[in-house]
Amino acid sequence: MATRYYIDAGVNCVFIEHAGEFVRGEGPANLAEILRDPAFRPGMNFFRDCSSTTLPTEFGYEYFARTKEQSMGAIEKEIGAVKMAWLVNGAHDFTIIHQMSVSSRLTTAGVQRRPFRGIESAFNWLELPADYQIRFPAIAASRRQLAAHAAAY
């Protein structure tokens, strides 16, 4: 899968964009890469835009309950108590992220995950400015542009 990210310490958030096929293991690998980035600081929130991809059907409550500690335990301890907003493109992916959040509610890391179908509500939950623009490498996308993109899928 193609993944790119942008870290903005000014708003305390890491922005991640996923495109193409989302395969098992890429999420933790992507977070491990971000942890090595000198701009990253523990406690930063995350915005994951998965609106251009579909999450694997094997993902679900049982999968996350069984594999989360092994794949994400150490990473979650490093990132700290944060919010992770997931922008998804449909009911299937919304359900998957909801199941991921339910399977990890009782962990000690304090990571809160929540799925969103609209970028405005995700940004609001993350307490981002209303006029915030994500500045991925080589592009600048406004909330309105991302919302239009998400609505097209």
pLDDT in tens, 65-109: 555 555 555 777 788 889 989 888 887 666 666 566 655 554 555
Nearest to 3 by CA among 73, 115, 25, 145: 25
Torsion of CA 151, 115, 99, 153, to 10 degrees: 10
Residue entry with tokens 């209303």: 130
pLDDT in tens, 19-73: 777 776 666 778 888 999 999 999 999 998 988 876 666 665 565 555 555 555 5
Residues 13 and 39 sit within 8 Å (Cβ to Cβ)? no
User: What is the reported pTM?
Assistant: 0.75
